[in-house]
Amino acid sequence: MSEFELIEQYFFAQQPAVPHIALGIGDDCALLAARSGMQLAISSDMLVEGRHFFAGADPELLGHKALAVNLSDLAAMGAEPRGLTLALALPHAEAAWLQGFSRGLFALANQFDCTLIGGDTTRGPLNICITVIGEVPVGQALRRDAARVGDDLWVSGSLGDARLALAGCLQPGLLPDDAQQRAAQRLHKPTPRVVLGLALRSIAHAAIDLSDGLLGDLAHILQRSQVGACLWCDAVPVGAILATQAQALQYHYALAGGDDYELCFTASAASRQAVLDAAAAAATPVTRIGCIEAAPGLRIVDQHHTERHFAFKSFDHFDV
């Protein structure tokens, strides 16, 4: 199979025609019709074999996750997905792998009307880099620098099960098989909170998606917004499987686990009901986990109002 046959068969042929894509795959660039009053939101995320996933990983799950982590960034800006590009390095053109990968990718892309508009394909160690393009009305993006003193701090869904699944992969037998399988869904098949992100436009102030762990990701909001926060560690919603584990492990994986792809966001206390209504409309649970304060830094308090200090840190590729 040639490079062009591969692109044609597995990527180009699967694309429906979409009005806002003036020109899709096949030319030197794709052309998008820009809508007035809108800003483009653009983000890239790369998945590298041996770093983000194990060799031999299920290609269908990889197709899903490679796009999901990108859509999660659009969700965190309150942007609506429009298109994506796919840069793919493959050791060899293997039909079964490409079929599985494109099935996983397109299942999620179609769910959000996100059209594949181009990319690049080369031989090399397995590496998947997706760029997503979304749209958000001018001035309505949920930026990291927009938290205000007095805001409530919220998180969607639950945290820590993906990190627990990773521990279970590295240490077989840690969890019973069925628990490992359920936790692994969170690790391999994250749900990007796109619908919630859109519902929170003009309600939330700042937002970020949780890829590296709550403590580290929340710190980005605090730094960019030049504020501090109080985090109620016992209010943080712990994943259902993690909730069966020891308390110390729950704190560790829920607060600093990574790979959750939930949204952490702030909104004024006056918007509390509006947040709950938006979450209900998006069919996504949200939990209030603290508040934004003027004093810089993050203070963590437990249910007994005791300040807690944890030794663990969020994930960092270059600090391990």
Among residues 11, 112, 253, 265, the one that binds ligand ADP under rule CB under 6 A: 11
120 vs 277, which CB is nearer to Mg ion?
120
Question: Binding mask 121-150 vs ligand ADP (x if CB under 6 A, - otherwise)?
Answer: x-----------------------------
Find the part of the chain contacting ligand ADP (CB under 6 A) among 112-120, 228-236, 241-249, 299-307: 112-120
Cα 291 from chain centroid (whole Å):
23
Among residues 119, 237, 258, 290, the one that binds ligand ADP under rule CB under 6 A: 119
- Give yes or no for residue 63 binding ligand ADP (CB under 6 A): no
Burial string for 243-279 (b: 16+ CB within 10 Å, else e) reads: eebeeebbbbbbbbbbbbbbbbbbbbeebeebbeebb
User: Cβ(112)–Cβ(64) under 8 Å?
Assistant: no
End-to-end CA distance of the chain: 40
- Give yes or no for residue 5 binding ligand ADP (CB under 6 A): no
Among residues 5, 94, 113, 120, the one that binds ligand ADP under rule CB under 6 A: 120
Among residues 25, 76, 109, 282, the one that binds ligand ADP under rule CB under 6 A: 25
Instruction: In angstroms, give the least distance from the CB of 3 to Mg ion.
Output: 9
Find the part of the chain contacting ligand ADP (CB under 6 A) among 42-50, 117-125, 185-193, 258-266: 117-125
- Give yes or no for residue 26 binding ligand ADP (CB under 6 A): yes
- Give yes or no for residue 92 binding ligand ADP (CB under 6 A): no
- Give yes or no for residue 113 binding ligand ADP (CB under 6 A): no
Q: What are phi and psi of 188, to 5 degrees?
A: -95, -20
Where on the chain is the footprint of Mg ion (CB under 5 A)?
120
297: left (phi over 0), alpha (psi -120 to 50) or beta: left
- Give yes or no for residue 28 binding ligand ADP (CB under 6 A): yes
User: Cβ(52)–Cβ(86) under 8 Å?
Assistant: no
Tokens describing residue 125: 């160690």
Q: How far apart are CA 3 and CA 128, in angstroms?
A: 16
User: What's the burial of 173, exposed, middle or buried (CB within 10 Å: 0-12/13-18/19+)?
Assistant: exposed
Residues 6 or more apart whose CB falls under 8 angstroms from that of 142 comprise: 76, 77, 78, 197, 200, 201, 204, 205, 206, 207, 265
The residue assigned the tokens 């800006």 is: 77
Helix (H, G, I), strand (E, B) or coil at 101: helix
Closest CA to 106 of 86, 123, 135, 124: 86
Instruction: In angstroms, give the least distance from the CB of 139 to ligand ADP.
Output: 32
Site for ligand ADP in 257-276 (CB under 6 A): none
Instruction: In angstroms, give the least distance from the CB of 31 to ligand ADP.
Output: 11
Instruction: In angstroms, give the least distance from the CB of 109 to ligand ADP.
Output: 11
Alpha-carbon separation of residue 65 from 23, 68, 187, 220, 292 (angstroms):
26, 5, 9, 23, 32
Instruction: In angstroms, give the least distance from the CB of 124 to ligand ADP.
Output: 13
Among residues 78, 81, 83, 118, the one that binds ligand ADP under rule CB under 6 A: 118
- Give yes or no for residue 105 binding ligand ADP (CB under 6 A): no
Binding residues vs ligand ADP (CB under 6 A): 7, 11, 25-28, 86, 88, 116, 118-121
